[in-house]
Structures are given as C-alpha cells and as structure tokens.
A and B are shown apart, each in its own frame.
Chain A
Amino acid sequence: MRLNGAEIIVKLLERQGIATIAGIPGGANLPLYNALYKSPIRHILARHEQGAGFIAHGMARSTGRPAVCFATSGPGATNLITAIADARLDSVPLIAITGQVPTSMLGTDAFQEVDIYNMTIPITKHNFLVRSAAELLSVIPEAFEIALSGRPGPVLIDVPKDVQTQEIDVYGWPEIGERLPSPPIDTDAIARAAAMINEAKRPVLYAGGGVMNSASHAVLREIADKNSIPVALTLMGLGCFPPDNPLYLGMLGMHASPYTNLLLDEADLLIAVGARFDDRAVGRVQEFCPEAAIVHIDIDRAELDKIRKAHISMACDAGEALSALLPLVRIDERREWRSRLALLREEHPFPAPRDGSQHPLSIIAGIAAAAPEDAIITTDVGQHQMWVAQGYPFTRPRTLLTSGGLGTMGFGLPAAIGAALANPGRRVVCVSGDGSIQMNIQELATLADLGLPVTVIVLNNGQLGLVRQQQELFYGGNYIASRFETRLDFAAIAREFGISGKSIRTGEPMAAGLARAFADGGPCVVDIGVETEPNVYPIVPPGAANRDMIGGETYGKRCN
C-alpha cells in the first residue's frame, strides 16, 4: 500500500481509536488535513489553537483516554504551548501533532518556523521531530504508549511538511500504543505501611489525581471506612470520595475548611496517595503535618521524596497499592479520632454563607441543585474556581475538570466543549468568571457550531477577583490592574455568537434563573452579576503554614 506520511498518521490515529480531533489548519499541516478529508475521524475546528488544545483536554480528562489536537507550524504550534504545559502539570494524556516547515528549510528562519521541538522539551513527557514517513509507524504508537503509561502526560509530534507528503510502501500496521503494565508493587513495603496504619492513632489519607487516574476511588473509600481514616483530597482528587461520608475532609490546603487543616496538623500518620505535596496543598512544607510519619504512594518515582521525605515510599499504581493494603488493614472504629474530627468540624466549620444569600457559594449550591447528578463541571481559574472546589458536591471522579497545576484562565469553555463531545447525553457546566471567559471567548463560536449541551455560567464582578483579593489582603488595598473599565454583558455576547444568553442580576431569584438556564437543551450562557467584595475564605497566605488561615467568619454577612 503506497501512502504518504499524512495518510499514515491519520490511519494510525484511527487504529488508536481516535474519533475526534480538535485543531486548526494552516500552511504546514495541510497535507494532514487532506488525509483527514478521507477519514471517518471527526474534526472540530476551534478558533484558536489554545482552544483546540483545551478541547482535547476536555475529551481526555473526562474519559481518561488520550486525545489529539492539530496545529500548524509557527504561531499555531506556540499557541498550543499553554495547553501542553497544562497537560504536563495535571498529568493529562494529550497528543499534540504540529506541522513544521519542510526538512530542507529547518533552521533557516523560514516563514512560520519555530523550534517547537526544543520549546516543548520541559513541558512534555516526551516529544518527537519526525525525519521520515517511515518513522511515523513507530513514533505514533510510541507517543500513545508514553502518554498513557505510568503517570500520564502530553506528547508532541512535530512533522515537517515534506514528511507528510513523502510516499512510502506500507506492508503492515504496527501494534497500537497502549498503557504499559504498572511497576510491580513492593509487598514488603505494603506490609510495613499496613502495620503503620494499624498502629497509628491519628491517620489521615491525602489523595490526589493519581486516585482518579487509577480509578481507585472505590477502594480508597473501602480502606477509609474499614480503618476509620479521614480523607482529604487535593483539587485534582475532588470527586474521588463521597462528600456525605463523615470521614470526608474536603479539599486541603490554601482554601480548605479550617477543621481540615487543623486535623491534618494533629495527624500522626499521613498516607499520601497519588498526590505530590504541591505548595497550594501543603503550605509551608516544614510545618505540614508536623507530627506525622509519611507513607507516600505515587506511580512517578521522581515525586517520592521530592518535597517531603517519606518513611515508606512506593512507586506504583495507586489502585494496586490500595487494593493490596485493604486486606492487611484492620477494622478499627477509632472512636477517639472520629470524635476529635467531629469536634473540630463543629468548632471550626467551613464558613458557609446564609441560605438564600447572593454569595457566589450560594450560586454554586444553586448550580449543583439545578444540574443533573452526572453533570461534568469545568471551571476557569480564580475565585469562582475555588468556590466550586469548596462548594460543589462532587460525587464521582472525572466530574470536575479544572486547571490545577498550571492554573490557566481560559481553560473552562474549550474543556467543556471537549467534555461534551466525549460524553454524549451528559450536561456540561462551565463555571467561569468575567476575567477568565474573555481569555478563550472565541470558542463560543465553536460551541455554536456544535450546539452541544454546555451551560456556561459567568460570575461577573468586573474584576480579576482573586488578584483583587490578594491586593486587598497582602498589598495594603493598592488596587491596580484588577478592575475592568468596560463591563461586558456576556448574555448579549452569547446571542451574537448564536447561543442562548440569559442574565441574572443582583437581587433576582437565583434558583428560578438557573432552572431556566438548565431547561435549555443546547448551549447557553448565563451572566450572573456578583458583588465585588466576597473573598475566597479561608485563605492561607502564600508561604504560611496551613494552620494560619485568614477569615471566613464573615461569609454571608457581607452580601445581605
């Protein structure tokens, strides 16, 4: 069979089970698009390559399966960089395929040439600059294997135009690239960890995205229930533990409930599972769980002992380790520790706003009440993101898609489009702010093209709210560059894009407004005016210990 490089790429992607690709064509990847013309793969034309990258994020994050995005050389490729870096930090299996100037012109500063290979070395798990069409037969499956194996992550494949058009004889197809088996568990370390758990008086589980990636939320709950171990989740782990379980501590760290951080302070054993001791989670690291011995389970050996030296560390799949621990952990009611948790929760509760207030947390609660239980929530980055993390009762993994490590404003809308593409029949809600939504607002056109069931909720305060909050708390109220001169009406903007737009102004009944928005089957943008003043509380100042939380007691009082 005589095929060119572009046709080989598309055929190999079909064989990998890729059904949808987001991207934008340009001079250097037109052969690839020409091959796509004859393929059953559906192409989603984004309006900016970063949008295409985050549409792929939405597909990958909501399913755990790899997703592909295309961009041309030069600016097309550099526009993907933020989405690739985001995938690296949040361990998302993203495959980015970029066009490149022809091999003969590499290094000549040709039109739309950038060295995307070198530029993406620090933000990919691995990357390739393909030198011949024949190489593609090994590179494409290898890229999938890398993206999926161990700790997932992004892979970039840069394909010069002449490689895309080079014809070769293909006599057979390679095996598809799949996740390699995880490294074997260390049964000796498991036994020692189980003994430590059984002997501990005040253990706490600290679980992150690794639990989601290994789909081990069920066994996490079994261990916690069996041995009465309170569970704190990272932002990436939300959804991996039932919020109505009395052992649930919610998210830990910078915006945790007071009792959560205070209980962690008293722990004598911390079992970190698929989590990496991120600074937003642990605060000042020397003072994080100061009395605790540490068991650290992570599939990436480079994460072990990186921030905090563990007493027992295991480089293995979180689910396999938890499953091996489960039978060795004894049944224990831990009456004393449970009652300590209950007391701290009563004395230092999450400072929830009054019912029916206009506080953004009440809006989040309203969204949760109006949205179907299997809805997928995406967020942008800022105050609204933390309010969602604090207030939305996520009951299953992969229902919160958020830019955790990189904190990319503009993530929410394209990620919601991707999630809706990959999960037909499910409602997707993008909770955003007026600052974030403007960073990829052009993707409303993509959403209009597709008519997907995406509800975009914009909490509109005319500010970069989290910046304003930091200026208030840590920069003496010197507000600079955190307020927008021009207030936008996102409902009107949505209508111009051909999408239903609704506004809920301050003082209007929230529940009825949200119900109207969700009654709409197709895409809808809801602009909700919110006050400037509410801050995200509690907050641990950057660099402080997690026990030193500011505020929260005034929730509900400011917005009467």
Chain B
Amino acid sequence: MENVVIELKVRNHPGVMSHVTGLFSRRAFNLEGIICRRVGDGSTSRMLLLVHDNQRLEQVVRQLENLRDVISVSCTRGGEGPFSSIQ
C-alpha cells in the first residue's frame, strides 16, 4: 500500500494533538507515525502524519479540514518523508 504523508499546520495549544489523533482513532484509520513540533513564534505547530493510502483517506482529509485548529492540510504521496530517518 502506498504511503502518504499528511502535513498539517495547526494552532498550537494543549488540546490540538487530541483533536487530530482522536479523529483517526474514531474513524478506525491507522496512524503509522506522528511528528509534531511548534514552529515560528509558537502560535502554530507543524504536524506530519504517516498513513497508508486507502479509499477513506479523502474522507479523513476532509474531516481534518473541518477541525477548527487545523489551518491547512496537504498530502504527499509515495515515500515516508522525514519518517524514514526514525528507526
């Protein structure tokens, strides 16, 4: 199955990680990896999510876009991006 790296720009506050990961567990969509850290002045964070592509990915991306704290979503298909350096 093809890997997809979902890149999120999110508002940085204590609950945002729960909102994002909760969405995946609730929709029974597996997360293969997560990287997150704050960027810039700390008001936003960059979050990278590694998932396997399947027909429900588009639905999950749309649900992510619905989250109030998610500012932007983009997907990169093929490869593991920065996740390949974590063993």
Q: Is the CB of A302 within 8 A of B18?
A: no
Using CB atoms, name the residue of chain B closest to A122.
Answer: B26
Using CB atoms, name the residue of chain A closest to B56.
Answer: A306
The chain B residues found within 8 Å of chain A, CB to CB, are: 14-15, 18-19, 22-23, 26, 58-59, 62-63, 65-69
**20 chain-A/chain-B pairs, Cβ below 8 angstroms:** A118-B15, A118-B18, A118-B22, A121-B19, A122-B23, A122-B26, A126-B69, A127-B15, A129-B14, A146-B68, A301-B66, A302-B59, A302-B62, A302-B63, A302-B65, A302-B66, A304-B62, A305-B58, A305-B59, A306-B59
Q: Is the CB of B18 within 8 A of A121?
A: yes
Residue pairs across A and B with CB atoms within 8 Å: the count is 32
Residues of A within 8 A of B15 (CB): 117-118, 121, 127, 129
Residues of A within 8 A of B62 (CB): 301-302, 304
Using CB atoms, name the residue of chain A closest to B66.
Answer: A302
Q: Is the CB of B22 within 8 A of A121?
A: yes
The chain A residues found within 8 Å of chain B, CB to CB, are: 117-118, 121-122, 125-127, 129, 146, 300-302, 304-306
Q: Which among B19, B65, B68 is the interface contact of A301 at CB below 8 angstroms?
A: B65
Residues of B within 8 A of A121 (CB): 15, 18-19, 22
Cα–Cα, bound, A121→B63 (Å): 13
Using CB atoms, name the residue of chain A closest to B60.
Answer: A302
Q: Is the CB of A125 within 8 A of B22?
A: no
A488 → chain B, closest Cβ, in Å? 38
Contacts A117-B15, A146-B68, A305-B58 given: A122-B63 contact, CB under 8 Å? no
B27 → chain A, closest Cβ, in Å? 10
B15 → chain A, closest Cβ, in Å? 6
Residues of B within 8 A of A118 (CB): 15, 18, 22
Q: Is the CB of B18 within 8 A of A300?
A: no
B68 → chain A, closest Cβ, in Å? 4
Residues of A within 8 A of B66 (CB): 300-302
A28 → chain B, closest Cβ, in Å? 19
Q: Is the CB of A126 within 8 A of B68?
A: yes
Q: A118-B18, A118-B22 are in contact. List 14 more A-B contacts (CB 8 A).
A: A117-B15, A121-B19, A126-B67, A126-B68, A129-B14, A129-B15, A146-B68, A301-B62, A301-B65, A301-B66, A302-B63, A302-B66, A305-B59, A306-B59
